[in-house]
Amino acid sequence: MTYPKTQLHHSLPLLLICDNLRDPGNLGTILRSAAGAGCSKVLLTKGCVDAWEPKVLRAGMGAHFQVPIINNLEWETVPNYLPPDTRVYVADNCGLYAQAQMSDTASDRGLVCDRRFLKFRKYAEEEEDLETGARKGWLPELEVQSYDSDWTEAPAAVVIGGETYGVSLESLQLAESTGGKRLLIPVVPGVDSLNSAMAASILLFEGKRQLRLRAEHLSRDRSYH
């Protein structure tokens, strides 16, 4: 498929990875935001709803013809579709824990967060508690940073998980291996988390804002010389 030259011209070193997104409306909305932000491509791992399903197409409002979409990927093949030196960041869906960790008051609350994304997975079936799992090294420990702190100094890929299953262990492992972090969007107490499409939109346009500011600074520096 060919894409509009204007879209390719405005494409940014910013990718989106969709992890277990099963709601057609959410995925279509996310694709629309990805196209609007100027993502270079969108990767969908196995377990996501088909990007070309009619409800996704309807919610995408033409986004499918504005941004390259690669469907049905196994996690081990995802790095093949990332530019060199890409850092993978995971949208953090555990606001209270992450905010506590950032303020240096977290202790065992991290395990509550990790149980949420392991809750429905094979790792939970092994009846091994998460604290032991972390010691054995299969549970990645990712630093948490605020979404509006700089995270676009290198090409960036953002992982958005589905609302039922959250992000996968594989996504955290990929983030750890590339030097990425968890990106926290703070919410007020009493609000559990944001809708996946809303979180994706906030992160992608924040990435776009950071890249624009970086380009302006570089342009200013060149003009001084």
Three-state secondary structure call for residue 92: strand
- Per-residue model confidence as pLDDT tens digits over 119-163: 444 444 444 555 555 545 567 888 999 999 999 999 999 999 988
Both structure tokens of 182: 């968890």
141 vs 172: CA distance, rounded Å:
8
Residue for token pair 């099963």: 22
User: How do beta strands 87-92 and 14-19 pair?
Assistant: unpaired
Average pLDDT of every residue of the chain: 82
Is the Cβ–Cβ distance between 16 and 39 less than 8 Å? yes
Task: Enumerate long-range contacts of 173-177, CB under 8 Å, 24 or more apart.
Answer: 173/140, 174/75, 174/78, 174/79, 174/88, 175/87, 175/88, 175/89, 175/90, 175/140, 175/142, 176/140, 176/141, 176/142
pLDDT of 109 > 60? The answer is: no
Would you give the DSSP letter of residue 137?
T
pLDDT tens digits, one per residue of 6-35: 666 668 999 999 999 999 999 999 999 999
For the entire predicted model, the pTM comes to 0.82
Mind listing the pLDDT tens digit for each residue in 153-206?
999 999 999 887 788 999 999 999 999 999 999 888 888 788 999 999 999 999
Contact 100, 106 (CB under 8 A): yes
pLDDT over 60 at 110, yes or no: no
Residues near 96 by beta carbon (within 8 Å), at least 6 away in sequence: 109, 189
Do 79 and 52 form a contact (C-beta atoms < 8 A)? no
Q: Is 77's pLDDT higher than 80?
A: yes
